[in-house]
Each structure stands twice: as C-alpha cells, then as structure tokens.
Amino acid sequence: MIELYHFEPNGESLKLLIVLKEKAIAFESRYVDLLDLEHHGDAFREAAGGGRVPLLVQGGEAMDDSQLALEYLAEAFEPRLAPGDPAGWYDVQAWTAQLDQALSAAVRLIGWHTVTLPAMAAERRRDFLARAADLPKPQAQAGWDRVTSDAEASEDQLALAGDKITGMIDRIEEALEETGWLVGGAYSVVDISAYALVHTLPRLLPDLVNGENTPRTMLWLEHIEARPAVQAALAMSRHTDLGQDVYAPAA
C-alpha cells in the first residue's frame, strides 16, 4: 500500500494527489498540517524521517523528492501519462525540473506573504511565527528561516519571484500553441506538475495570468480542472477557513 504524507492539495502535494487519482492507485492519505508545524513534530519525524512534505512511501521506501516521486509514479503505474520514447521521457524530466526550480518556491513565497499570512487572524499569526522561530536551527530549513527572521518578504524577494513566474508562464503559453499540452501532444504528468503550480495564478497574479494575456494557459487550466481526478484531489482541502488558496513556506 502506498502512503502519501501531504499538506493542502496545492503545489507539490497537489501534483502527487492528482497522479494517484488519475491512475486510480489505492493509497493512504496522511495529512500533515504545515501551518501547525506537524512536519517538525516527533510523530511525523518518527514515521517519515527527514521532515519533508510531501512524502511518498511504498514498501518501506520513502521518496521525499516530489519531482522524483512524480516520475516514479509515471513509470510504475498505468496509464503512463508520459511519452514512452527516450526523447519524450527526457522532455518530461527537463520540464518537471524546470517547473520545480522556477515556479515552486516563487509561487509559495508570493502566496504565503500576500494571501495566507494576511488571512490568518492576528493571534494565530503571532502564534505561528513564534512557534516557527523556536524551532531548533537544524530543523528550521531555509524556507522557514526566511519567514521567521522577517514577518514580511522584502519587495526585492517578491519582485524576483514574480520575474521567475513571468518567465515560466511565457514558456508555458508558447509550448501550448501547437497541441494544447506541454509534452508529447497529450495530457501528461508535465501538465499535472505545471497545473499544480499555475492553477492559483489567475487569482494570485491576475494581471499576469488572464484571458487576454495568456489565453492558451487559461484554456489549458480549464481543461485540466474539469477532469474528475483533479476535482477529487482539490476536494481534499482542509484549511477552508483561510480562503480558496492556502500556501505554506518550504517544509
């Protein structure tokens, strides 16, 4: 039996949830509340070791790199949802690596500082920041250090994140021109990985991602979001009190 330790259905957690749902793979959902710092608690560390979320576990093997876990699921279970030829598989790996490098941290940073943190009640926000600041330094990884050392990201940090997102959205819009999908002319794990990071951008950065500036991206998002597996994954949200989109700093 596969176990997936995950946060809200967005970003890195969402892409693995969608793939599991698309392939109808039976799995145990192990929700880890990053906003309650559960990934730094003894219970999670005893089960999962390194404290990174999401974490895919099968047969005692723990995969805490979401990109590699995504590629494993693509190869190990049918339907493949990826090209079968070596060149196509190279494209899958190249795309997923670039999406992870260019979008993951940038979307999370902007979303955390402009959406989730302001949506917290003042007392809850103070409690979270205080508890995060008290984490032992070996546990307080870079993403959390940025949050706890300064309650607000600098304008330069947010601007750099915005530039990274803009560059990647331009590439996605261009790639969709020929077939409407990112790799191999069909819906694939690359579309799933990109969707998990892009689907909140029409709300998070509406001046960037919209029907006028990025029409192919908007249509692509619409087609993916209509899929039953995607709807089932999105329905697993728990932090509905904080709004439609919930972000957390790096685990």
- Whether the predicted pLDDT of 160 surpasses 60: yes
* DSSP secondary structure letter of residue 232: H
Give the confidence band of 140 by pLDDT, cuts at 50, 70, 90: very low
One domain, residues 44 and 148: no
One domain, residues 66 and 92: no
One domain, residues 62 and 112: no
Instruction: Confirm if 38 and 13 have CB atoms less than 8 A apart.
Output: no
Give the CATH number of the domain where residue 58 resides. 3.40.30.10
DSSP, collapsed to helix, strand or coil, labels residue 33 as coil
One domain, residues 172 and 207: yes
How many CA atoms are closer than 13 Å to the CA of 157, on its beta-carbon side?
18
Q: Supply 93's token pair.
A: 């790996």
One domain, residues 166 and 126: yes
Instruction: Confirm if 81 and 73 have CB atoms less than 8 A apart.
Output: no
128 domain-assigned: yes
Give the CATH number of the domain where residue 217 resides. 1.20.1050.10
**Domain span including residue 152:** 86-227
The fraction of the chain above a pLDDT of 90, given in percent, is 71
Give the confidence band of 139 by pLDDT, cuts at 50, 70, 90: very low
One domain, residues 127 and 188: yes
One domain, residues 98 and 200: yes
One domain, residues 96 and 187: yes
> How many domains are contained in the chain?
2
- Whether the predicted pLDDT of 138 surpasses 60: no
- Whether the predicted pLDDT of 30 surpasses 60: yes
Arithmetic mean of pLDDT over the chain: 89
Q: What is the mean pLDDT of residues 184-213?
A: 97
Q: What is the mean pLDDT of residues 99-104?
A: 92
- Whether the predicted pLDDT of 248 surpasses 70: yes
Distance CA 234, CA 93 (A): 25
